[in-house]
Structure 1
Amino acid sequence: MPTAPAGPDPTMEAIGQAVTEGRTGDILSARHRLLNLWSEIGVTGDPLHRCSLAHYLADLYEDPAQALAWDVRALDAADAVTDQRVQEHHAGLHIAGFYPSLHLNLADNYRRLGSFDAAGEHINAAQEHAPSLPQDAYGASLRTAIDEVAVAISQRDTAKRSSAPGPTA
């Protein structure tokens, strides 16, 4: 991301620490930490916290149905986040940049569950929001993933993508 955080946010720091823990292989501990944070935040808590936590927690589930539940929560929370709130966390970010990834994850989960109509709706939404992605390695990786999932949907393929985030079976 382009610039430094605008100010400290202990909840976002705790989410980041749990995400790092999950990415280094301690999936169960990371999931437990994020679930505890979710309980603290609550379903009506800060939408940026809810969106970020749910988005990352979804990646810690191999089962696409479990991941889907968290991805739905992430998208729902994103709809309540403002650019002002995002920029309080990280100057230069815009909520519009969250939507390609959120819709991509939903499309991929629906696809893995064999719900190709729903998958198609979300991959179309991801493609519509893709111009909001930055022109950097992160943006390029998401554009590639959007293309991969679109092809998999068209082929009615339910296999997990090797490039998908999350634990390996």
Structure 2
Amino acid sequence: MTRIGQAVMLLHGGDREEARNRFGELWAELGEAGDAFHRCALAHYMADTQDDPGDELAWDLRALTAAAGLADEPTTGDRTGGRADGGRGDGDTAGGDGGDDGTTGGDRGDDGTADGDRGDGGGTGGDRLAEAREGVPGASSVVRAFFPSLHLNLAADYLKLQRPEAARLHLDRARDAADALGHEGDVNGVRAGIDRLERLLRGR
């Protein structure tokens, strides 16, 4: 996580190419059997370095796959390191037009998603990954906190790709997942992102 954090600092500082290179090296080191939490965080941030919306979607789907692996783990306390098998693999199998789940949070913005590296979004997806590893009691609690922003990012990805039905699917899942959290954790930013994306989707 220290090395991921160093690359994130480069990303937030505007050096997207170097951040992308470092994330790529870390991803190669982790491999498909790497720690699911680390893969989720890494894929989430890697999505924010992509220039092509299709590539962004692919990385958000990888983040979802890793989160699904976390969901399959037993509850073990804080998420600084346990292993996971990784769920469904890297492709569109985790989301798609009618996928099983959603994806992570993100430093997106123009289409209403989480934080705002790329526009005027306003969520907390990126910070949520960092906060989760600091001691949320139980993997299940961490995973529940991930899924609203994961779905929200997927919805934004599909909207960029002119796939409104898929965007609607994941936006609805983002809202359901956020509602399920109630007041658990900091989901207000994600809810605000959901509302913004809802307005964009209706406008289109």
Q: TM-score, normalised by structure 1?
A: 0.78
Work out whether residues 108 and 149 of structure 1, in 8 Å CA contact, stay in contact via their aligned partners in 2.
yes
Corresponding residue number in structure 1 for 2:41: 52
Query: How many percent identity over aligned positions?
Result: 40
Corresponding residue number in structure 2 for 1:91: 135
1:64 counterpart (53, 56, 60): 53
Number of residue pairs the alignment of both structures matches: 144
Work out whether residues 154 and 170 of structure 2, in 8 Å CA contact, stay in contact via their aligned partners in 1.
yes
Corresponding residue number in structure 2 for 1:34: 23
1:127 aligns with 2:175: yes
Consecutive unaligned residues in structure 2, runs of 5 or more: 81-132
Work out whether residues 110 and 118 of structure 1, in 8 Å CA contact, stay in contact via their aligned partners in 2.
yes
Q: Which runs of 4+ in 1 moved over 3 A?
A: 85-89, 133-136
Consecutive unaligned residues in structure 1, runs of 5 or more: 1-11, 157-169
Higher relative contact order, structure no. (Cα contacts within 8 Å, ≥ 6 residues apart): 1
CA deviation vs aligned residue, 1:75-133 (integer Å, no higher than 9, x gap): 01100014537534321262110001111010000001100111011001100111327
1:23 aligns with 2:71: no
Work out whether residues 37 and 79 of structure 2, in 8 Å CA contact, stay in contact via their aligned partners in 1.
no
Distance 1:101 1:23 in 2: 19
Alignment root-mean-square deviation, CA: 1.9
